[in-house]
A and B are shown apart, each in its own frame.
Chain A
Amino acid sequence: MIELQGIRKSYQSGAQSLEVLKGIDCTIHKGELVAIMGSSGSGKSTMLNVLGLLDDFDGGSYLLDGNDMGGLSERQAARYRSEFLGFVFQSFNLIGYKTALENAALPLYYQGVSRKERQKQALHYLTKVGLADWAEHLPNQMSGGQKQRVAIARALIANPRVILADEPTGALDSVTSDEVMNLLKDINREGITIVVVTHESEIAAQCDRIIRLKDGRIEDPKAQDDV
Chain B
Amino acid sequence: MMFDRDAWLEIFHTVLSNPLRTGLTGLSIALGIFILVVMQGLGSGLETGVANTFGDDAANLMQVRTGNAQLAFRGRKPNRRVELHNQDEQAMKEQVDSVPAWSRLVFRWGSTVRYSNQQGSYNVRGVDPDQREIGQVSLTAGRFISPLDLAENRKVAVLGAQLVEDLFPKGTEAAAVVGEFIQLRGIQFAVVGAFDQAGSRWENRSVYVPFSTAQKLFQNDDVVSRVSIGTGDAAIEDTRDASAGLISWLKNRLVVHPDDAEGVWVDNRNEEAEMFRQIFSGIRLFVWFVGLMTLLAGAMGVANIMAIVVRERTKEIGVRKALGATSNAIVGQIIQEAVFLMLVSGCVGLLAGTWLLHGIAPMVQHEFFSNPRVDFSSALLALGILIFVGVVSAIGPAVRAVTIRPVEALRDE
Spell out A's residues near B (CB within 8 Å): 45, 49, 52, 54-55, 74-75, 78-79, 81-83, 87, 89-91, 93, 95-98, 106-107, 109-111, 115, 154, 158, 166-167
Contact B324 A115, beta carbon cutoff 8 Å: no
Q: For the complex of A and B, list the 3 residue pairs with the smallest distance between their C-beta atoms, beginning with the closest.
A: A82-B324, A110-B324, A54-B406
Stretch at the interface among B36-44, B178-186, B313-321: B313-321
11 of the cross-chain contacts (CB-CB < 8 Å) are A52-B322, A54-B321, A55-B407, A74-B327, A79-B326, A89-B319, A93-B319, A95-B319, A106-B323, A107-B323, A110-B329
CB distance from A103 to the nearest CB of B (A): 9
Contact A90 B412, beta carbon cutoff 8 Å: yes
CB distance from B393 to the nearest CB of A (A): 23
Q: Is B13 an interface residue (CB 8 A)?
A: yes
Contact A93 B326, beta carbon cutoff 8 Å: no
CA distance A154 to B319 in the complex (A): 11
For A158, what are the chain B residues with a Cβ–Cβ distance below 8 Å? Answer: 323-324
For B63, what are the chain A residues with a Cβ–Cβ distance below 8 Å? Answer: none
CA distance A31 to B411 in the complex (A): 28
For B322, what are the chain A residues with a Cβ–Cβ distance below 8 Å? Answer: 52, 54, 81, 87, 93
For A74, what are the chain B residues with a Cβ–Cβ distance below 8 Å? Answer: 326-327
Contact A82 B410, beta carbon cutoff 8 Å: no
CA distance A212 to B127 in the complex (A): 111
Contact A115 B6, beta carbon cutoff 8 Å: yes
Contact B14 A110, beta carbon cutoff 8 Å: no
Interface set, chain B 315-356, CB cutoff 8 A to A: 315-316, 318-327, 329
Contact A93 B13, beta carbon cutoff 8 Å: no
Instruction: Among B319, B320, B327, point to the contact of A75 (Cβ < 8 A).
Output: B327
Contact B407 A110, beta carbon cutoff 8 Å: no
CB distance from B11 to the nearest CB of A (A): 12
Could you give, for residues 380-410 of chain B, a 1 whenever the CB lies within 8 Å of some chain A CB and a 0 otherwise? 0000000000000000000000000111001
CA distance A55 to B321 in the complex (A): 12
For A91, what are the chain B residues with a Cβ–Cβ distance below 8 Å? Answer: 412
Q: Is B5 an interface residue (CB 8 A)?
A: yes
CA distance A90 to B410 in the complex (A): 10
For A86, give the chain B residue with the smallest CB separation. B323
CB distance from A112 to the nearest CB of B (A): 10
CB distance from B273 to the nearest CB of A (A): 60
Contact B320 A110, beta carbon cutoff 8 Å: yes
Interface set, chain B 275-296, CB cutoff 8 A to A: none
Contact A89 B410, beta carbon cutoff 8 Å: yes
CA distance A166 to B323 in the complex (A): 15
CA distance A214 to B342 in the complex (A): 52
For B405, what are the chain A residues with a Cβ–Cβ distance below 8 Å? Answer: 54-55
Task: Knowing A49-B407, A54-B405, A115-B6, say if A97 contacts B326 (CB, 8 Å).
Answer: no
Spell out B's residues near A (CB within 8 Å): 5-6, 13-14, 17, 315-316, 318-327, 329, 405-407, 410-412
Instruction: Among B5, B6, B17, B323, point to the contact of A82 (Cβ < 8 A).
Output: B323
CB distance from B9 to the nearest CB of A (A): 8
A-B contact sample (13 more), CB < 8 A, given A95-B316, A107-B323: A49-B407, A54-B321, A54-B322, A74-B326, A75-B326, A79-B324, A81-B322, A87-B322, A90-B412, A91-B412, A95-B319, A154-B323, A158-B324
For A74, give the chain B residue with the smallest CB separation. B327
For B406, give the chain A residue with the smallest CB separation. A54
For A167, what are the chain B residues with a Cβ–Cβ distance below 8 Å? Answer: 412
CB distance from B107 to the nearest CB of A (A): 78
CA distance A158 to B410 in the complex (A): 20
For A55, what are the chain B residues with a Cβ–Cβ distance below 8 Å? Answer: 405-407
For A107, what are the chain B residues with a Cβ–Cβ distance below 8 Å? Answer: 323-324
For A151, give the chain B residue with the smallest CB separation. B319
For A90, what are the chain B residues with a Cβ–Cβ distance below 8 Å? Answer: 412
CB distance from A11 to the nearest CB of B (A): 10
Task: Knowing A89-B410, A90-B412, say if A110 contacts B323 (CB, 8 Å).
Answer: yes
Instruction: Among A49, A106, A110, point to the contact of B326 (Cβ < 8 A).
Output: A110
Contact A97 B410, beta carbon cutoff 8 Å: no
Instruction: Among B6, B14, B319, point to the contact of A109 (Cβ < 8 A).
Output: B6
Instruction: Among B14, B406, B412, point to the contact of A97 (Cβ < 8 A).
Output: B14
For A93, what are the chain B residues with a Cβ–Cβ distance below 8 Å? Answer: 315, 318-319, 322, 410
Task: Knowing A54-B410, A55-B405, say if A97 contacts B13 (CB, 8 Å).
Answer: yes
For B14, give the chain A residue with the smallest CB separation. A97
Contact A98 B320, beta carbon cutoff 8 Å: no
CA distance A93 to B322 in the complex (A): 11
Instruction: Among A49, A52, A78, A97, point to the contact of B325 (Cβ < 8 A).
Output: A78
For A49, what are the chain B residues with a Cβ–Cβ distance below 8 Å? Answer: 406-407
CA distance A98 to B14 in the complex (A): 10
CA distance A109 to B10 in the complex (A): 10
Contact A54 B323, beta carbon cutoff 8 Å: no
Task: Knowing A75-B326, A82-B323, A115-B6, say if A98 contacts B13 (CB, 8 Å).
Answer: yes
Contact B325 A110, beta carbon cutoff 8 Å: yes
CB distance from B45 to the nearest CB of A (A): 46
CA distance A54 to B320 in the complex (A): 12
Task: Knowing A78-B321, A79-B324, A111-B324, say if A54 contacts B315 (CB, 8 Å).
Answer: no
For A81, what are the chain B residues with a Cβ–Cβ distance below 8 Å? Answer: 321-324
CA distance A106 to B315 in the complex (A): 15
Instruction: Among A78, A98, A166, point to the contact of B324 (Cβ < 8 A).
Output: A78
